Amino acid sequence: MRLLPSRAAVAPLRHALDAPAVLPSVADLVAVERPEEPMHCLRPAAIAAAARGFVRGFPGATLYAVKANPEPAVLRALWRGGVRHFDCASIAEVALVRGLFPAAAIHFMHPVKARGAIREAWARHGVRDFALDHADELAKIVAETGAGAAEGLGLVVRLALPRGNAAYDLSGKFGATPEEAAALLRAARPHAARLGLCFHVGSQCLDPLAWKRAIALAGTVARMAGVPVEVLDVGGGFPAAYPGMAPPPLGAFFAAIREAVEEAGLAGAALWAEPGRALVAGGASVVVQVQLRRGDALYVNDGVYGALSDAGAPGFAFPARLIRPEGPPPAAALRGFALFGPTCDSADRMPGPFRLPEDVREGDWIEIGQLGAYGACLRTAFNGFDRARLVEVRDPPMLGGAEEAPARAA
């Protein structure tokens, strides 16, 4: 039997070569390049600034959740912003981070891992911290590392939380009940140089009190276990701004966490967080081209099988602006449009509404912002629409009323 070679399903983003010392604007690039494929626009300065703010404000270690955006240019911008810890969910992410940053602290926080991934992370990439939520996973980690407390093994038990009100609920797949988590802490204690508890309140959580409730439960579990706990990982879920969704400032979340840690009796534990969306959402956009207008529906060259998955069934709103390098200036009056992506699937629809000039037409470009988190990394190769370009730009994030500001290149 002939074995087929393995290959990646999605073509890698094509980077612009020889980036200039002064980065161009999105509108300047569109005017010159006139892209007929999706163009992903990274804002490295915005990513680095968001990282600096989080690292300065959070009272503990900031572990960037690599799954939110694993693009190397993004990771380098985060490093420039002061991020030195990375939350990885796969051996591929572990290898990527270690290749870029030999001195980084890598934490393997997926609660269920392949045995080979555990071995490679430990022996080849120097990973010492592993999450778990089941006794069999604990046994697997101990067996495959061949290690224990003397070798610096860190074991972090993931605690299940009740369903919350985050935009994406994450309570159904991972996590041990309080009773199970306490038993796991006791079982892991003899093997661990660092023993910890972690949880996740859900992605894009707008309520700082969600962390207070979770930390209170973690404190209860630690007392039930009756063993020392050195690490409290408060997970991700820290929100970013989207049209119609304005979160409280991050300081409100940090203050709630500080207060809750004291009240839960966990002030002696090292504090970790796993932000993803909050660091990178504003750091990227995608430029699409209108291929057809049908009333209030625009057919564009990217969609839910590309960078716009969250704009489909989840119904996230994203800022949008029209870019028309030549011809008559865009109309001042705006109208709400739905978008259809390029595939043959009727589900490739983004209801929006995306507020754009009412005279938008075939050939115009639209920049859609706040796609730095879970945008490019969710691309697929469905129908062969897997080609896209990656550029770096100087523009600020598309926040607030940016979706109502049509751009015309000079």
Helix, strand, coil proportions of the chain in percent (round to 5)? 30, 20, 45
Among 221, 252, 274, give the residue marking a domain's end.
274
Angle formed at CA 306 by CA 304 and CA 307, multiple of 5 degrees: 90
DSSP-based three-state secondary structure for 271: strand
Residue 232 belongs to a domain: yes
User: 40 has which bridge partners?
Assistant: 286, 390
> Are 212 and 328 members of one domain?
no
CA distance 296 to 294: 6
> Are 25 and 131 members of one domain?
no
> What is the phi/psi pair of residue 176, to 5°?
-100, 145
Structure tokens at 220: 């209860």
The DSSP 8-state label assigned to residue 383 in this structure reads G
Task: Give tens-digit pLDDT for 328-380.
Answer: 999 999 999 999 999 999 999 999 899 999 999 999 999 999 999 998 888 99
Range of the domain at 242: 59-274
Q: What is the pLDDT of residue 171?
A: 65
Residue 32 burial (C-beta neighbours within 10 Å; 0-12, 13-18, 19+): exposed
Among 274, 309, 327, give the residue marking a domain's end.
274
Residue 52: HSE in the Cβ half-sphere, 13 Å Cα cutoff: 9
Task: Give tens-digit pLDDT for 234-246.
Answer: 999 999 998 888 8
Q: Residues 128, 154: contact at Cβ < 8 Å?
A: yes
> Are 131 and 245 members of one domain?
yes
Residue 20 belongs to a domain: yes
CA distance 157 to 299: 46
CATH number of residue 111's parent domain: 3.20.20.10
CA distance 46 to 284: 9
Flag residues of the chain having pLDDT under 70: 1-9, 16-21, 164-172, 400-410
Q: Residues 88, 130: contact at Cβ < 8 Å?
A: no
Q: What is the pLDDT of residue 322?
A: 97
> Are 107 and 185 members of one domain?
yes
Q: What is the pLDDT of residue 409?
A: 39
CA distance 403 to 393: 18
> Are 266 and 295 members of one domain?
no
181, containing H or E segment: helix 178-188
CA distance 304 to 348: 5
User: 20 has which bridge partners?
Assistant: none
User: 196 has which bridge partners?
Assistant: 156, 231
> Are 259 and 307 members of one domain?
no
> Are 209 and 358 members of one domain?
no
Residue 326 belongs to a domain: yes
Structural domain tally of the chain? 2
> Are 214 and 111 members of one domain?
yes
Sign of the torsion formed by the C-alpha atoms of 353, 289, 38 and 366: negative
pTM for this model (two decimals): 0.92
